[in-house]
Amino acid sequence: MAKKPTYEELKQRVNELGAEAVERKRAREEKEEQLRFVQTLIDTMPSPVFYKDTAGKYTGCNKAFEEFVGRSEEEIIGKSVYDMGPKEIADKYYEKDEELFQNPGKQVYEWRVKREDGELRDVIFNKATFLDNQGRVTGLIGVILDITDRKRAEEALRESEKQRYRDEKRMEILKFANDVALKLMHNLRNPLVTIGGFSKRLSSKDYPEDKLKEYATVIFEGSMRLDKVLNEVLAHLQAAAEQV
């Protein structure tokens, strides 16, 4: 039969249990204080931050993430990526999360976020896995960098460069057309003068047949030179039009 503990032994055991309870409470309060500090630190970050468990469910986020996606923390915690966005976007989230869990460490990639108001934002995800005290992966944390404005600025710059190129080409074409017009006036003058002069001779008096043939030949050769000049001009203009 077991010996009954004495009053002093019972008192000592009660004191030990009390001390253990106080220590557990203190440890719990310290842990809660640390968690509050970490959450406060994360909430002060301007970049959206989120964390998930290994099932892909959101377990927390900061204020910036709430504002970025347009949902409150209560509407985010416990949700999957398919609850947070359309399938065509969520599929990439799921694929990259699984890839990170299979290969723990860090991960960076560019993708999109669809906000609650329907706006699409271009972003860069910076994610990393975190471990428990036994070294097992228990989830991931992610930070979002919004690059929408930067991409829009880059696109505007590209459009500006394209427009500048088109304007330069247009000026080149105008200069070319002006040069062609001057050349055309110069090169057409001689055959036109020749054709006009000999045509006037033919109409002013009667000529013997051999003279008529001579004048007709001169007129024909002048018309051929004129045709050659016009064909050259046409070819240059067509080549210039193809460059626009």
How far, in Å, CA of 124 to CA of 144, rounded? Answer: 6
Mean pLDDT, to the nearest integer, of 6-33?
Answer: 73
**Amino acid identity at 8:** E
pLDDT digits (tens, 9 = 90+) for 67-76: 999 999 999 9
Specify the 3-state DSSP secondary structure of 147.
coil
| Higher pLDDT pick, 214 / 52 | 52
- For residue 58 the two structure tokens come to 């959101």
- For residue 231 the two structure tokens come to 């064909």
Domain ranges of the chain: 43-146, 153-243
Q: Which pLDDT does position 166 carry in this prediction?
A: 84
How far, in Å, CA of 32 to CA of 149, rounded? Answer: 39
Q: Which residues on neighbouring strands pair with residue 109, listed in sequence order? A: 125
Which among 175, 223, 166 has a CA at the least distance from the CA of 195?
Answer: 223
- For residue 178 the two structure tokens come to 């002006």
pLDDT at 239 over 70: no
| Higher pLDDT pick, 196 / 87 | 87
The dihedral sign for the CA sequence 117, 123, 126, 129: positive
Summary mean pLDDT of the chain: 81
Fold of 43-146: Beta-Lactamase (3.30.450)
pLDDT digits (tens, 9 = 90+) for 173-197: 778 777 766 676 666 666 666 666 6
The dihedral sign for the CA sequence 75, 78, 84, 87: negative
Specify the 3-state DSSP secondary structure of 153.
helix
85-99, 148-162, 193-207, 216-230: which has the highest mean pLDDT? 85-99
Strands 137-146 and 120-131, how do they pair? antiparallel
Cβ neighbours, 10 Å, residue 112: 13
Q: Options 1.10.150.20, 1.10.287.130, 1.10.3720.10, 2.60.120.260; which CATH number does 153-243 get?
A: 1.10.287.130
Mean pLDDT, to the nearest integer, of 140-148?
Answer: 96
Which among 129, 104, 133 has a CA at the least distance from the CA of 53?
Answer: 129
pLDDT digits (tens, 9 = 90+) for 146-170: 999 999 888 888 888 888 888 888 8
Q: What is the pTM of this model?
A: 0.60
Which among 133, 69, 145 has a CA at the least distance from the CA of 108?
Answer: 145
